[in-house]
Amino acid sequence: MDLRVILLGSLAMSLCACGKVDFGSGCEKPVDLVAPWTEMGLPLEEGQARVCEVSGEELKVRSYTWKTKEEATPALKQALSSAGWTEDRCTEQACYYDKDGFEVSVQPMDFEVKKKKLVTIAMRHKTDR
């Protein structure tokens, strides 16, 4: 068999695998957003971010859009502010936003999958005290 055919076949097979983005254990398959998350305008870039878990109260996302939680925090704040949420307070772990008697907490965390850096974002939605 011609060496060029073998090399081209190997290249084609590796290109097919390249299109698949690995979001790590616990986030193998994407799930669709549900309310209230659909109304927040979250910056979930197609192919770079994946919703891993979702309910009306909790959301878990992994995203290669940012490499660190410090990069993700201002983008998430901007999205929530644009959707009418007001920042209430921030701690080392999370920031809290208020709107219409509800509170949402946003906790970005640094994460790594196969030595590639990405961010995991955990969010919780509840009635504001």
Kindly tell me the burial class for residue 98, based on how many C-beta atoms sit within 10 Å of its own C-beta (0-12, 13-18, 19 or more): middle
pLDDT at 1 over 90: no
Give residue-wise pLDDT tens across range 90-120. 999 999 999 999 999 999 999 999 999 999 9
pLDDT for 91 equals 95
- Is the per-residue pLDDT at 47 higher than 50? yes
Question: Using CA atoms, how far apart are residues 111 and 120, in angstroms rounded to an integer?
Answer: 6
Architecture of domain 23-127: 2-Layer Sandwich (3.30)
Q: How confident is the model at residue 50 (pLDDT cuts 50, 70, 90)?
A: very high
Is the pLDDT assigned to residue 37 strictly greater than 50?
A: yes
Q: Looking at residue 26, what is its pLDDT?
A: 95
Domain boundaries, the chain: 23-127
Q: 78 pLDDT exceeds 60?
A: yes
Give the model's confidence band at 81: pLDDT under 50 very low, under 70 low, under 90 confident, else very high: very high
